[in-house]
Each structure stands twice: as C-alpha cells, then as structure tokens.
Structure 1
Amino acid sequence: MNHAKATEESVSTLPIIDVHPLVTGAGDRNAVAAEIRRACLDTGFFYIKGHGVDEALQERLERLSRQFFEQDLETKLELRMERAGRAWRGYFPVGDELTSGKPDLKEGLYFGAELGPDDPRVRAGVPLHGANLFPNNLPGFRETVLAYMAAMTQLGHALMEGIALSLGLEGSYFADRYTADPLILFRIFHYPPQPSGPDASSVWGVGEHTDYGLLTILKQDDAGGLEVKSKSGWIGAPPIPGTFVCNIGDMLDRMTGGHYKSTPHRVRNLSGRSRLSFPFFFDPNFNAEVKRIESPELEEVVDDWETRWDRSSVHAFSGTYGEYLLNKVGKVFPALKQTVI
C-alpha cells in the first residue's frame, strides 16, 4: 500500500494515539494513558503520532538502509553477524533467521547500544552487549543509526511512562525497576518481493510470533505487509505517514498477569517490490528479574499458553530478562547459538 492510500481515515481497526503529552509533558497524560489502556486490552497494537522523532532523520535512515541492501551479497557479508561474536550484531542473509523453525523471507542488520571494549559488561562477556558493525562505504550510516536509536530510546522511556499510568501505577514504575538502563535492540529488515505461484501462501517474510520484551516501536516504509492477530482474526497494519506502530511484548504480558497480552503478528510482502522495516525493541535490563506487578486489579493470572503461537507460557517463566531472551534468540539463529549462549 502506498502513502496516498494509507490515511488515518482508512485505518480504523487499530487506534491512532497522539502521544505528544507524554513526549513533551504538556497536556493531559492521563487521557493518553487511558487510550493506551484501551489499545493494550483490545489488540496490544496501536499507532502513535506526535512522537517528535525528526522526519529528516527517518528519511536518512531509510535512504541509507536501501543503499546497503542494494549491494551485492559479498559486500553485505563483510558485516556478517559472526564477526560480532557475543554482541550479536551485524548482517544476516535471506533465510538465515528462523521463526518457529521455518526460514523467514528477509535479510537484515542487527544493532544495539554502542558499547566500547572497556565497558564492564563487554569485558565480562555478557551476551548481546558490545560494539555494532557499520558499513565503511556508506558515509553517515553509523551516525544516522546511532542518532535514531538515541531518539527512539527517549521515546521508549516516554511511552513506558504512559503504559505505567495506564495500569494505575506511578509513571516511573518501569524506569525504577527495569528500564533505567534498558536493553536496546534495533533491527533493519529488508523483505524481497514475495514470490508468486502455488507455494507462495506457505512463505512468510516473517511468520507468526510475539515480541519478547516490553515494547516495540516500528517504523515501516510504504510497502505494507504487516498483519496483526486481533480477536476477530488477522487484520492489516499498513503504514501511515508520520506515525509508528507500537506493540507490547511477552514481558509486559508476564508483568500484568496476561491482562495486557503480547499479540501475534506476521509479515508477507505482496507489494511486488522491496519492503524495509525498522523495529526498535525497548526492553528490561538484561539482568533484571522480571516479576508480576503487585496490584489488586491484576491479581488473577490470565494464561493463554494453549492458544499461543509457540504453545509456551510467559507466566511460568522465572528469572532474568536476559535468560528469557537468550532462550528465544538461540532458536532464531541456531547456527550462531554457541557463539552467544
């Protein structure tokens, strides 16, 4: 779907929330929190506008990303993930990432918080912490990615305040316990055009899944293809200019006892051209022990493991977010599992 067709009026199934009061502190934050609550109880997905992330920065990111993926495979493999070791950063080619054991029809770049060799977590060999791999032949790529991650981290803090308020908690609830130093994971994905033919219906850019952490903030180009599993079935989440798509992950599901559920979603690129997406994951600190929120409103656990895509319970898990995440990513990249875990 192109931008001309994806207007706010044409997308009525997922709410569009103006988060300007959360970002700036000016306006009715509680009214925004009430909208977030309704969205989290309904589908766990919503669009945001009024987020304040610079449009020129986003355009630079998209342009440079497109230039990277247009290169030949040999050039892209100079940034292969094996080079980053335990930091789990860099490039993977089409088919190397698995969802439920099946190869995804996408290639991508993995990034995280930029940490130097003297950082104590890097020196200790903590998985998923370290330096990023950036292409040397694309001027401005490094600076653009780091600036975008900084802007999205700031936005993530603001949105988590809104989610805390939506649960009747202090705005600083998550920052005080989990996200003062969040685990930041950022991906740039390229989905080639979906092949046609008798087998096309069984091929997905990325298959049905939920996200692992607290909050995902997604920038997508104008190609479309994202689908969300609602109570009435699968619905589209096409791009809307000036917005991001947000969804909640497994850890917020666990913290709320299943009252806010992590919603399955998937991607199939039927646009006939390349698709770019930019998911930014704002997650608990790697070493944070994830616990239920103590609130009278959330006493009952609503566990849907029997109907979840992976038939596993996020509520039976006990331990740190890092332990949960490593168990998941080891299944996504089994060939790299021994490097990290």
Structure 2
Amino acid sequence: MTILQVVDKEFSQVPVIDISMLVSQTSHSAAATPQDYYLVADQIRQALHDYGFFYIVGHEVDEQLQKQLEHLSQQFFAQDIETKLKIRMALSGRAWQGYFPIGNELTSGKPDLKEGIYLGAELEEDHPLVKASIPMHGCNLFPSNIPHFRETVLDYIDSMTKLGHTVMAGIALSLGLEKSYFADHYTKDPLILFRIFNYPPNSSLSESKWGVGEHTDYGVLTILKQDSVGGLQVKSKSGWIDAPPIPGSFVCKIGDMLDRMTRGLYRSTPHRVQNLSTSNRLSFPFFFDPNFNVEIKPIELNNVVVNDDKSDRWDKTSVHEFRGTYGDYLLNKVFKVFPELRQKVL
C-alpha cells in the first residue's frame, strides 16, 4: 500500500484503493487470502456509499501500453478534420463506431466541447450479434495512416476487460455477494464500449462552456484513464469536487444500472468535465457494462429499501422505474446523445 501513502489527502477527496490483492487471484503472484479480498471490499463499499467514485492503483495494466495509446491518440486528433472524418461514425452503420467532431455529441440537449472516437469489442461480420443487426455491435473503424493504432487499442480493450471483471468481483464482495455474482448474472459476456475523447483548450471561452455537462453513466462500471491535464469534477454530498489525475491510477465510477441493481445503495454519481487549461485534454473512458440482451433486476439485499433520488438527479428521472434489458436502456440514452442514430437503428 505504499502508493496510497504518497497520495496527499488534499489532492483529491475521492478515495484511492490499492486493488493488487484482488488482481493477485488471477495473476502469477502470491495468492491473496479471503481476508485480503474483504479488506479491499470494505474500502470499495465505503467509497461507493460516500462518493460513487474511487481511484484504483495496483491494477497491473501495462504502463507502456497506456503511453502508446496516449501517444497515438494525440497523433490522431492533431490531424485536419477531413482526415479524421475518413473514419466518421456514419460509415459504421448500426455498429455506431468511429469518429465524431466537436459539437456532434449532446449532453442534456447541449453540444459538448469535445471530439472523439467510439470503439468497442471487435466483432466480425459472422458474429451472431452482428448478423442479427444488434445496434452498437460490429467492427471498429481505425485510422489507416497511423501505424499500430488498431493493435494498441485492441490490446488496451483486452487489458481493461480483464480489469473490469476484477473490479466487479470486488464490488460483488462489497455487497456481501459471491465474487462471481455479476459475471454469473450480467457480465460473463459484457457489452464493451471504449471512447477516446479530446477536449480542446477552453481558457478563452466562457466558463459556462462544458467539455461534457453534468451526467451519469449508463451501465455498471466505467474505468477512466485521464491524461495529466485534469478537469473532471464529481458531485459529492457536499457539492462539486475535483477528481484530478493521480499518476498510475484509474478512476472507477458506477453507472445507472448498478444504482438500480443495488436499490440505490450505490448511487450513479453525476460528473462533468471542463478543460480550463491551454492544452488539449485526452480522456479514455472504458465502459464495462451488462450484456446487451440481459434484463436488469434489483439484487435481493438485506435491509436495503429503495431510496429514489429522482428529484435530485440531473435529468429528473428514476433508474428504479426502468424495466427491460440493458440494451433498451442504453439505446434510449444514446438516441438523445446522437439523435441521428435513431434514424439508422429504428
């Protein structure tokens, strides 16, 4: 836990958790004991109860892979718009992968000050979900003029998928469940969505201009890699607080479906981004979500009563009123972010 000791508490109020003991159960290092697992689970429980967010260190995701991903992403976004549009989303059809320019993504109906690439699990044309024309499943669009971009992204997605299973095992233990609970019921074959976002400098614009406005994520778990610029803010019980980059860490945040599953015990916490620096800001959110076709149901938890926060939520809706599959929920949300997708899918 040496990494935790060097993190100044004033640097961020969001907790930092060393998950190396969880990671060790699937690695070649010394096996962790059940007591080790539950120590981490207790920290996760406290963090999710208080914040809905936490940093993780001790994750063992290759540092060189992360640097390569960041370097190649900088190369991509430095290109002119015509070149970037060669992999625009419209070319991917129902898979809805590829590049979108600044202002094309909406949050609460307002254009975000960011551009990005939508990516996901690489599925060939003969995959059952692709053959069935299930939205948001298919082949990725990669820039052909940047060597190693495809391989780096797919290696990163593979590493983060393994990490997602590990973190969800810790969340299951934090709820007093078997560590395989989420894998058994929701994420054995998860929906994997990965984004690379670029937030341009905002220092000369109005401070009310958001890279992405207040929102919550949709699924169960987001694992976020930040660059060194910063700009992420989390809505805590005492107000908005910064979640700045911590070297060697990822930010973990839970989504609406885990909020629903836990009957509001763990909240999907609102967050937003504003880049006030004079540099571009890169962000790499990885969404580890339930299978597209699985029905989302509350978990039977002792002494937990649904505490609906509809009046407090940014969109004034209740995740606890939702009935259906994760795909139903996701598409309803994405249609609002990209209204033109509705025309391609429906």
Category of TM-score, reference length = shorter chain: over 0.9
- The yes-or-no answer on 1:76 pairing with 2:81 is no
The one of 239, 257, 266 equivalent to 2:263 is 257
Amino acid at match of 2:294: A
Counterpart in 2 of 1:101?
A: 109
Amino acid at match of 1:80: R
Q: Is the 8 A contact 1:87 1:340 kept in 2?
A: no
Cα deviation digits, residues 149-194 of structure 1 (max 9, x gap): 0000000000000000000000010000000000000000000001
1:163 match: secondary structure? helix
**Cα displacement string for residues 78-118 of structure 1 (whole angstroms, at most 9, x for unaligned residues):** 00000001001000000000000000000000001000000
DSSP-derived class of the 2:321 partner: coil
Q: Contact 2:203–2:275 at 8 Å: present in 1 too? A: no
Whether 1:20 and 2:20 are equivalent positions in the alignment is yes
Query: Following TM superposition, where does structure 1 have runs of at least 4 consecutive aligned residues deviating by more than 4 angstroms?
Result: none
Paired residues for 1:111-130 under 5 Å? 111-130=119-138
Out of 314, 329, 335, the position equivalent to 2:334 is 329
1:202 CA drift (Å): 2.0
Q: Residue 274 in 1 paired to residue 273 in 2?
A: no
Equivalent-residue separation in structure 2 for 1:75 and 1:55 (angstroms) = 29
CA drift of 1:335 comes to 2.1
Q: Deviations over 1:280-304 (max 9, x none)?
A: 0000000000000012232x10110
Aligned to 1:243: 249
Code of the aligned partner of 2:41: A
- Do 1:106 and 1:192's aligned partners in 2 also have CA atoms closer than 8 Å? yes
Which secondary structure state, in structure 1, belongs to the residue aligned with residue 235 of structure 2?
Answer: strand
Which amino acid in the other structure matches residue 152 of structure 1?
M
Partner of 2:230: 224
Kindly indicate whether the alpha-carbon contact (under 8 Å) linking 2:72 and 2:146 is maintained by their aligned counterparts in 1: yes
User: Which whole-Å deviations, capped at 9, do the CAs of 1:244-302 have from their partners, x for residues lacking one?
Assistant: 0010100000000001000000000011110000000000000000000012232x101
Give the Cα–Cα distance (whole angstroms) in 1 for the partners of residues 180 and 324 of structure 2.
22
Give the distance between the partners of 2:24 and 2:157, measured in 1 at CA: 19
Contact 2:56 2:252 in 1 (8 A): yes
Equivalent position SS for 1:131: coil
Q: How many residues align?
A: 332
**SS of equivalent residue, structure 2 residue 65:** helix
In 2, the alpha carbon distance for the partners of 1:340 and 1:185 equals 18
Percent same amino acid among aligned pairs? 67
Unaligned runs of 5+ in 2: 1-5, 26-30
Answer yes or no: is the 8 Å Cα contact 2:12–2:242 preserved in 1: no
In the other structure, the counterpart of 1:35 is 43
What TM-score do you get using the length of structure 1 for normalisation?
0.96
Q: CA deviation at 1:22?
A: 1.1
Q: 2:155 aligns with which of 147, 151, 164?
A: 147
In angstroms, what is the RMSD of aligned CA positions?
A: 0.9
Corresponding residue for residue 158 of structure 1: 166
| CA deviation string 1:307-338 (max 9, x = no partner) | 10000000000000000000000000012221
Where does residue 202 of structure 1 map in the other structure? 208
- What is aligned with 2:3? none
Decide whether the 8 Å contact of 2:212 with 2:272 is kept in 1: yes
Mapped partners of 1:125, 1:31: distance in 2 = 44
| CA distance in 2: counterparts of 1:280 and 1:75, whole angstroms | 25
Tell me, yes or no, if structure 1 residue 307 matches structure 2 residue 312. Answer: yes
